[in-house]
Amino acid sequence: MGETRLMKGNEAIAEAAIRAGCDAYFGYPITPQSEIIEYLASQEPHKRTGMVLLQAESELGAINMVYGAAGTGKKAMTSSSSPGISLMQEGLSYMAGSELPCLVVNIVRGGPGLGTIQPSQADYFQATKGGGHGDYKLIVLAPASVQEMSDFVPLAFDLAFKYRNPVMILSDGVIGQMMEKVELFDQMPRATEFDQTWVTTGKTADRERNIHSSLDLDPARFEKHNHHLQEKYKKIIENEVRFEKIQCDDADYVLVAYGSSSRICQKTQKLAREKGIKAGLLRPITLFPFPYEEIEKLANHVKGFLAVELSAGQMVEDVELAVGKKTRIEFYGRIGGMIPTPTEILTVLEEKYLGG
């Protein structure tokens, strides 16, 4: 059994980073995720594990420091919130192109623009459909509790190194700022078991030199590289889909929600059952790869889905892709930093499907 603590989601990510053997954190403060760098600083990780902690001059600085550290095969990470993550998109595209592993945490706040410091899930498209330029994908994990904020950090590093691809933990102000009980895992070594032959730490006589670049001016060769990336994303889709189902087997109506919305919907689902409405909840844990197949299976027997997001309707498009014309899909979202309550969502479910 690990040590149990009461922690904010942001603090749990920071503690988990140290314990997961992260080599370096580069970041720039922004609400609602500044506790990550604040907590790290309080821990003096250079004393605990030798981990580097550096406040960069900007988000651009931070992501490019991550790029450099990742090139040497180190477990590097950064964190920010929406406007800061937008600034990092160029770096993410370059890293995906150069096939370098890293962890990027986005504690989403309301946009567009500088927006608000309140929670939002309106960065779903940016996280799952690209964000930067070019045909690339991030692996995207969506924690729904402080426990998962901790647990997903070592998972993210594993996936990043397994596929040599940036991984994003997509959370928001709700999970980042709330405190819950968290059982911390034991300290892991600052090393990875995955292949390290690609790192740029100095050429040895027995091999060709390693180069990390996303540039290739030969279209034929570059098409091959792009095919290779697409093959990799296909493997990720085959192997890494994660989701949680709550009472979906006999459900007439299934709520689909991730992260903070899924927590609110858990209560809605319970309240609905208490009223005799057969409701279930499907919670995507990986947003890329998205659990299309599972939702498609459910579509064969449920009367309808209700996608709930803190956005104007982004993940619902993936639900629509999965369901097609098989059954009804409704959407409910609050935007601009507002958060729905469980009873509010229940009312929507009743109005849309049961005629009020």
Q: Is 174 in the site for other proteins (CB under 8 A)?
A: yes
Q: Is 179 in the site for other proteins (CB under 8 A)?
A: yes
DSSP 209: P
Instruction: Give me the phi and psi of 40, to 5 degrees please.
Output: -55, -45
191/338 with CB nearer other proteins: 338
- DSSP string covering 102-162, please? EEEEEEEB--STT--SSB--TTHHHHHS-SSSSS---EEE---SHHHHHHHHHHHHHHHHH
13/156 with CB nearer other proteins: 13
CA distance to 257, 331, 345, 355, per residue, from 352 (Å): 17, 9, 11, 6
Q: Is 177 in the site for other proteins (CB under 8 A)?
A: yes
Task: Specify whether the CB–CB gap between 271 and 344 falls below 8 A.
Answer: no
**Closest CB 8 distance from other proteins, rounded Å:** 8
d(Cα 24, Cα 69) in Å, to the nearest integer?
8
Q: Is 270 in the site for other proteins (CB under 8 A)?
A: yes
Tell whether omega for the bond before 166 is within 30 degrees of 0, i.e. cis: no
Among 78, 80, 106, 118, binds other proteins (CB under 8 A): 118
What residues contact residue 204 under an 8 Å CB cut-off, 6+ apart? none
64/120 with CB nearer other proteins: 120
35/123 with CB nearer other proteins: 35
Among 186, 8, 21, smallest CA distance to 103 is for 21
> Which x/- pattern, by CB under 8 A, does the window 55-94 give for other proteins?
----------------------------------------
Maximum pairwise Cα distance, the chain:
74
Looking only at residues 312 through 351 of this chain, which bind other proteins when binding is defined by CB under 8 A? 339, 341-344
User: With contacts defined by CB under 8 A, how many residues of the chain interact with other proteins?
Assistant: 27
Q: H-helix or E-strand containing 79?
A: strand 76-80
β-pair partners for 253: 279, 304
Can you read off the two tokens belonging to residue 9?
Answer: 């989601």
Looking only at residues 27 through 56 of this chain, which bind other proteins when binding is defined by CB under 8 A? 31-32
Q: Is 117 in the site for other proteins (CB under 8 A)?
A: yes
Burial of 201 (0-12, 13-18, 19+ CB in 10 A): exposed
Which of these segments, 80-88, 149-157, 177-185, 288-296, binds other proteins (CB under 8 A)? Answer: 177-185
Among 71, 84, 111, 173, binds other proteins (CB under 8 A): 173
**Closest CB 237 distance from other proteins, rounded Å:** 30
Q: Is 143 in the site for other proteins (CB under 8 A)?
A: no
β-pair partners for 167: 103, 139
**Closest CB 31 distance from other proteins, rounded Å:** 7
Q: Is 273 in the site for other proteins (CB under 8 A)?
A: no
1/211 with CB nearer other proteins: 1
d(Cα 180, Cα 81) in Å, to the nearest integer?
21
Q: Is 264 in the site for other proteins (CB under 8 A)?
A: yes
165/311 with CB nearer other proteins: 311
Among 158, 180, 244, 294, binds other proteins (CB under 8 A): 180
Q: Is 181 in the site for other proteins (CB under 8 A)?
A: yes
Which of these segments, 91-99, 174-182, 196-204, 315-323, binds other proteins (CB under 8 A)? Answer: 174-182
Using CB under 8 A as the criterion, which residues of the chain lie in contact with other proteins when the complex forms? Answer: 4, 6, 31-32, 117-118, 173-174, 177-181, 260, 263-270, 339, 341-344
